Amino acid sequence: MKIMQLLSDKPRSALLIGLCFAVLLALPWLHLLPADSPMHLSAYWVTLIGKIMCLAMVALALDVVWGYAGILSLGHGLYFALGGYAFGMYLMRQSAGDGLPDFMRFLSWTEMPWYWAGTQHFWWAMILVVLVPGVVALIFGFFAFRSKIKGVYFSIISQAMVFAAALLFFRNETGFGGNNGFTGFKTILGFDITSAPTRALLCFVTALTLLLFYIGLRHLMNQPYGRVLGAIRDSENRLQYLGYRTLWYKLSAWVLSAVIAGVAGALYVPQVGIINPSEMNPVNSIEMAVWVAAGGRGTLIGPILGAGLINGVKTYFTVAYPEAWLLILGGLFVVVTIFLPKGVIGLFDRFKKEGN
pLDDT digits (tens, 9 = 90+) for 18-41: 899 999 999 999 999 998 888 999
Per-residue pLDDT at 3 exceeds 80? no
pLDDT tens per residue, range 190-219 = 899 999 999 999 999 999 999 999 999 999
Look over the chain and give the mean of its residue pLDDT values, rounded to a whole number. 89
What are the residues facing 182 on neighbouring strands?
275
pLDDT for 305 equals 93
Between the CA atoms of 295, 71, 266 and 96, what dihedral angle is there, to the nearest 10 degrees? 140
Helix (H, G, I), strand (E, B) or coil at 301: helix
Contact between residue 256 and residue 71 where contact means Cβ atoms under 8 Å apart: no
Q: How far apart are CA 321 and CA 317, in angstroms?
A: 5
pLDDT for 355 equals 52
Between the CA atoms of 61, 91, 47 and 58, what dihedral angle is there, to the nearest 10 degrees? 10
pLDDT tens per residue, range 66-104 = 999 999 999 999 999 999 999 999 999 998 887 888 888
Closest listed residue to residue 258, CA positions, set 21, 98, 57: 57
Strand bridging mode 274-275 / 182-183: antiparallel
Enter the pTM of the model.
0.93
Q: Which residues fall within 8 angstroms of residue 3, CB to CB, at 6 or more apart?
A: 18, 215
Mean pLDDT lowest among 239-248, 281-290, 309-318, 327-336 = 327-336
